[in-house]
């Protein structure tokens, strides 16, 4: 009983409740026959939202005005360059991963450079850098789709013990993020900056260093996600990151992280990512038309956010 | 194949260059709203490939391509106004919106500029439209299924981007076809946004709750390969998936054909339709009588010309044809 009360007090529980609800509604439609297939599909596709969502969560936690809009472009560039570097060759996988990380780090540095040195607000800085990054991806190979090396294609689409490999990757990254946030000084610093940047600075928090690291972290995760997604779906496409801009922000909010910054949580990202995939599957399964589907998705998201934020204020 | 195309284009250009002296001083601009996918990239390449030589040979004075950054109607309207000020004689237009650019298009017409819209057409009456009969394209898919699967069965429909005219039209054609052929039944419908990864995700989400005897997947292009991957990932037998002329789709089809004799068809619009629009604009500037509304033919690939089409399609690109002046004259004559 005590456990239930404590669980209900968590801001992230509502994302899981919602995800479980739509999951149940979907499998009931088929009398339970779709349980395994649907669960595996949900874990697979949620994994990509989780990876970008974690990076976005740290950025948003830095406080009002902090958001990274360059995630889709970073994903596209990383996927495009990495696959071209590897050129379907299994021996070059390490080089491909190195290129991915280098791109993430470079874009993160560029983003924070614009924010800090040129004093451009993050929303404008990351938006404008995303144009440059996206154009670079277009220029780099003109939308030519190169297949991933066989090992990577196999790895990213396969499962281990029934759990999709990409979900395992997302789990490892989530554990790292959770340790950083809950157990390390870095997480305290991020939250402190988000609660009050001035107070954090006066308290001796290395504000610039932490913000810099956070933007780099977010860009690296976006690059990794682009790399995984292009391996998973058989090649990079120029528009492949597009849907992850809103998704990355939505999973942060639905997961119970404070929009105004200062409070973050990792489990909520999982609940929200699963929920966002499952709600579309559920409405497709019930044969809702596109208009109804978008309307219901919006209403359900609002309901979850209201439920989550109420618990927080009590 | 490519060489023959270039040669025949050149031959046409040479043969008709004397008759076209009238347009040698004319400048044509391409106003394009989006460049961020492989179809649009191929469209711009085709434009450069055909209009470059045309300008060099003096058929037109210039044929410059302009693309807006943000795929916004307001931005493209401003771009059209710039093109008017720069004194172009014709604007070939792939529009961000069928209606929102009408004001800017009207201004161009009033300034004596010929406006030819294609793919993303505009409704302003003074503009020329090279439209695609998308509903007929959807119906052609069902017609093919009727032949390939005479017993009929359950179908999955992958639609495009919700709320876009093209999506409604293709889907309308498909549903009309299915209504005429009651042996088919659409048991599920998802939106794939014409993108491989989105289609894969949407199909993977609905597949577990669909019956196991899906015989066919009707699509809108760009989504066939993603659908195939979703079926494979779910461990289901691959149904007949209609393809949309993307190289990855054709390559997958070829693999399946070689391995198991897999049969399907592929249909879409060739990105080279931009060159058709170019020649139509040139014909109008040349003083030819051209109807306001033209229809562009589909590019269809079948079992027997799959290899040839795949060979001429660049890796990651879209099956394409560039249109010649002769093709443009034929399309114009058909619409008369």
Q: Is the CB of B36 less than 8 angstroms away from the CB of A33?
A: no
Q: Residue A233: which of B45, B202, B229 has the nearest Cβ?
A: B229
Q: Residue B195: which of A30, A239, A281 has the nearest Cβ?
A: A239
Mean per-residue pLDDT for A117-142?
85
Looking at residue A56, what is its pLDDT? 92
Nearest to B206 by CA among A166, A290, A30, A292: A30
Question: Considering chain B, what percentage of its residues have pLDDT values greater than 90?
Answer: 36
Q: Average pLDDT, whole number, for chain B?
A: 86
Looking at residue A196, what is its pLDDT? 86
- Cα atoms found within 13 Å of the Cα of residue B33, Cβ hemisphere only: 22
Q: Does A296 map to a domain? A: yes
Residue A219 pLDDT exceeds 90: yes
Nearest Cα of chain B lies from the Cα of A41 at a distance, in angstroms, of 6
Mind listing the pLDDT tens digit for each residue in B269-307?
Answer: 888 999 999 999 999 999 888 999 998 888 899 988 888
Place of tokens 């020649």: B279
**The two structure tokens encoding residue B335:** 């619409």
Q: Residue A143: which of B37, B189, B225 has the nearest Cβ?
A: B37
CATH number of B2-132+270-298+320-335: 3.40.50.2300
Bridge partners, residue B300, by sequence? B267
Residue B1 pLDDT exceeds 80: no
Mean per-residue pLDDT for B169-195?
90
Least CA distance to B191: which residue of chain A? A290
b/e code B182-201 from CB counts within 10 Å (16+ = b): eebebbbbbbbbbbbbbbbb
List of residues 6+ apart from B207 with CB closer than 8 A? A37, A41, B230, B231, B234, B236
Looking at residue B10, what is its pLDDT? 55
Domain that holds residue A259: 10-313
Q: Does A100 map to a domain? A: yes
Looking at residue A225, what is its pLDDT? 94
Looking at residue B17, what is its pLDDT? 45
Residue B167 pLDDT exceeds 90: no
Q: Please, what sign has the CA dihedral across residues A227, A231, A232, A238? A: positive
Mind listing the pLDDT tens digit for each residue in B3-14?
Answer: 555 555 555 555
Q: Does A2 map to a domain? A: no
Least CA distance to B200: which residue of chain A? A233
CATH number of B134-268: 3.40.50.2300
Q: Is the CB of B41 less than 8 angstroms away from the CB of A37?
A: no
Q: Does A5 map to a domain? A: no
Would B2-132+270-298+320-335 and B134-268 be classified into the same CATH topology?
yes
List of residues 6+ apart from A153 with CB closer than 8 A? A147, A231, A234
Mind listing the pLDDT tens digit for each residue in B188-215?
Answer: 899 888 888 888 989 988 888 888 889 9
Q: Does A3 map to a domain? A: no
**Number of domains making up chain A:** 1
Looking at the complex, does the CB of residue A162 fall below 8 Å from at least one CB of chain B?
no
Nearest to A276 by CA among A15, A13, A11, A5: A15
User: Domain extents for chain B?
Assistant: 2-132+270-298+320-335, 134-268
Q: Does A1 map to a domain? A: no
Confidence of residue A147 (pLDDT cuts 50, 70, 90): confident
Place of tokens 């609905």: B206
Least CA distance to B246: which residue of chain A? A145
Give the Cα separation of B321 and B299 in Å (integer): 8
Q: Is the CB of A229 less than 8 angstroms away from the CB of B204?
A: no
Q: Please, what sign has the CA dihedral across residues B179, B185, B189, B193? A: negative
């Amino acid at each position: 009983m005590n456990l239930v009360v404590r669980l209900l007090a968590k801001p992230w529980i509502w994302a899981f409740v919602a995800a479980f609800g739509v999951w149940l509604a979907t499998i009931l439609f088929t009398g339970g026959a779709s349980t395994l297939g649907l669960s595996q599909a949900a874990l697979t596709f949620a994994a990509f939202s989780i990876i970008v969502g974690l990076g976005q969560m740290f950025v948003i936690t830095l406080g009002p005005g902090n958001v990274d809009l360059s995630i889709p472009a970073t994903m596209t560039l990383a996927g495009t360059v990495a696959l071209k570097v590897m050129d379907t060759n299994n021996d070059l996988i390490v080089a491909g991963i190195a290129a991915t990380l280098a791109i993430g780090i470079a874009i993160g540095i560029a983003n924070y450079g614009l924010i800090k040195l040129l004093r451009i607000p993050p929303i404008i800085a990351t938006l404008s850098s995303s144009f440059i990054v996206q154009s670079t991806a277009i220029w780099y190979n003109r939308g030519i789709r190169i297949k991933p090396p066989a090992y990577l294609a196999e790895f990213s689409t396969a499962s281990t013990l029934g759990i999709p490999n990409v979900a395992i990757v997302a789990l490892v990254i989530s554990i790292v993020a959770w340790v950083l946030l809950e157990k390390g000084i870095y997480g305290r610093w991020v939250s402190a900056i988000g609660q009050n940047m001035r107070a954090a600075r006066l308290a001796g928090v290395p504000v610039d260093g932490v913000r810099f690291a956070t933007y780099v972290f977010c860009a690296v995760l976006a690059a990794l996600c682009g790399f995984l997604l292009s391996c998973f779906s058989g090649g990079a496409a120029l528009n492949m990151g597009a849907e992850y801009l809103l998704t990355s922000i939505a999973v942060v909010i639905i997961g119970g992280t404070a929009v105004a910054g200062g409070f973050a949580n990792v489990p909520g990202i999982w609940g929200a990512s699963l929920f966002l995939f499952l709600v579309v599957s559920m409405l497709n399964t019930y044969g809702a038309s596109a208009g109804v589907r978008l309307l219901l998705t919006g209403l359900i998201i609002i309901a979850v956010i209201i439920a989550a934020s109420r618990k927080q204020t009590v | 194949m490519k060489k023959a195309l270039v040669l025949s284009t050149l031959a046409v250009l040479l043969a008709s260059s004397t008759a076209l002296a009238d347009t040698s001083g004319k400048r044509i601009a391409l106003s394009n709203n989006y460049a961020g996918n492989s179809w649009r990239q191929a469209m711009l390449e085709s434009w450069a490939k055909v209009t470059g030589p045309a300008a060099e040979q003096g058929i037109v004075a210039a044929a410059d391509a302009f693309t807006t950054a943000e795929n916004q109607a307001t931005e493209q309207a401003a771009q059209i106004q710039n093109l008017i000020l720069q004194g172009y004689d014709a604007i070939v237009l792939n529009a961000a919106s069928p209606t929102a650019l009408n004001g800017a298009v009207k201004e161009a017409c009033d300034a004596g500029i010929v406006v030819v819209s294609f793919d993303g057409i505009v409704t302003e009456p003074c503009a020329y439209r090279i439209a695609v009969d998308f509903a007929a394209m959807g119906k052609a898919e069902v017609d093919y299924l009727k032949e390939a699967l005479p017993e009929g069965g359950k179908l999955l429909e992958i639609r495009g981007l919700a709320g876009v005219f093209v999506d409604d039209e293709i889907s309308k054609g498909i549903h009309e076809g299915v209504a005429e052929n009651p042996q088919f039944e659409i048991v599920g419908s998802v939106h794939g946004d014409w993108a491989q990864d989105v289609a894969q995700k949407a199909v993977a989400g609905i597949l577990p709750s669909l019956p196991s005897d899906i015989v066919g997947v009707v699509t809108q292009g760009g989504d066939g390969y993603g659908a195939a991957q979703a079926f494979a990932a779910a461990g289901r037998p691959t149904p007949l998936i209609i393809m949309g002329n993307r190289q990855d789709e054709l390559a997958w089809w070829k693999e399946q054909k070689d391995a198991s004799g897999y049969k399907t068809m592929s249909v879409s619009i060739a990105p080279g339709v931009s060159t058709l629009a170019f020649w139509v604009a040139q014909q109008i500037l040349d003083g030819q009588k051209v109807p306001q509304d033209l229809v562009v033919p589909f590019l269809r690939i079948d079992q027997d010309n799959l290899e040839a089409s795949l060979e001429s399609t660049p890796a990651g690109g879209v099956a394409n044809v560039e249109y010649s002046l002769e093709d443009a004259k034929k399309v114009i004559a058909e619409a008369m």
